[in-house]
Amino acid sequence: MTKPFDDKHGTLVPAAERVWQGRRLESAADPRRREADCLLETAIEQYQLHQFQSALQAFQKALELYRGIQDGQGEGRAFAGLGVSYYALGNYPEAIACSFQSLALARQGLDRFTERQALANLGNAYRHLEDYDRALDYNQQSLRVSQDIFDQRGEMAALNNLGMTYRAMGDCLQALEVYRQSLSIARSLKDSQTEAQVLRNLGNAHHTLGNFAETVICYEQLLTLVRQRPQPQNEMSVLKNLASACYSLGDYVKAAAYQEQRLALARRLADNRTVEQVLENLAVTYELLGKSEQAIRCYEQRLAAVQAVVQERGGTSDTV
């Protein structure tokens, strides 16, 4: 059985601060500022839709307009937006460079929300570069600023990202503690999307520590949330991790049940590669349960799935 637990997408990035409501009077008096603010709003919306390249361009245009009217607060927020966009695109050096400029402008203008965001960007980017001391420092600063300004969403994100840094450093016990705090805030805010993300990270940390029973609890709660918004690919990922945790726990009956559910989804999506992988794992699990007939059936079906994968690729295979 594979252990597919992965933190690649576990980072929480609080949404960039919107400017329109807070600056409506200023924007009404200055059409150039209104244009820049509208561009910034557009960039934020594009970022939230995962249109990162488009967001990057819009943040850059907004930055140029803010510079033209010498609006330091606007510049700071545009740089913060550039930072999260570069981070999303995996360009961590540029994310760091933009976030440092955002941080300097935010502190100069006493813009605590943008300061919090710039610090979060820096912590996340340094974690990906495996500079854990700096990542820890900036995430802790982001947490303190969030608490100072009573920004619960920022605090929730900072705690989650601290957990990811602690786990990357090998301190899973400390990671569990801050993940639990983040999860508590997510539940108090009734933010099911963030709750799901933190549950995944919490389950992964338990899995690293070998706390397989706790891993199963986290992932079963996660499965309930994922099924509220039917997304077959996400559901298959959760079922994969649940089956792996149950297998590690020695609960082969449950492992087989989750594998069967994942198999049904993969077949519905005509995902032959996943079908082949699940059938292989199912065969092994059924062998451990002493169910030879089911194991043989899975091996036979796996052979058909392998042949389907080969045909999809337009090639031939002499091995299974």
Pairwise CA distance, residues 243 & 245, whole Å: 6
- Alpha-carbon gap, residue 76 to 117, rounded angstroms: 10
CA dist 116 to 140, 146, 197, Å?
10, 6, 21
Q: What is the pLDDT of residue 10?
A: 73
Residue spans of the chain under pLDDT 50: 1-8, 18-22, 24-25, 317-320
The torsion of the CA quartet 287, 292, 294, 299, rounded to 10 degrees, works out to 70
CATH topology of domain 249-312: 1.25.40
The per-residue pLDDT for 199 is: 96
Q: Where are the domains of the chain?
A: 249-312
pLDDT given for residue 2 in this prediction: 37
Q: Residue 4's pLDDT is what?
A: 39
Contacts of 32 (CB under 8 A, 6+ apart): 65, 68, 69
Give the pLDDT score at 29: 66
Please give the pLDDT value at position 319. 44
Spatial distance between the Cα atoms of 283 and 300, rounded to a whole number of angstroms: 10
Q: 72-88 and 52-68 helices cross at what angle (nearest 10)?
A: 160
Residue 159 to residue 142: CA distance in whole angstroms: 9
Rounded distance, CA 29 to CA 8, Å? 45
Q: How many residues does the chain have?
A: 320
Q: What pLDDT was estimated at residue 309?
A: 83
Spatial separation of the C-alpha atoms in residues 176 and 1, rounded to whole Å:
25
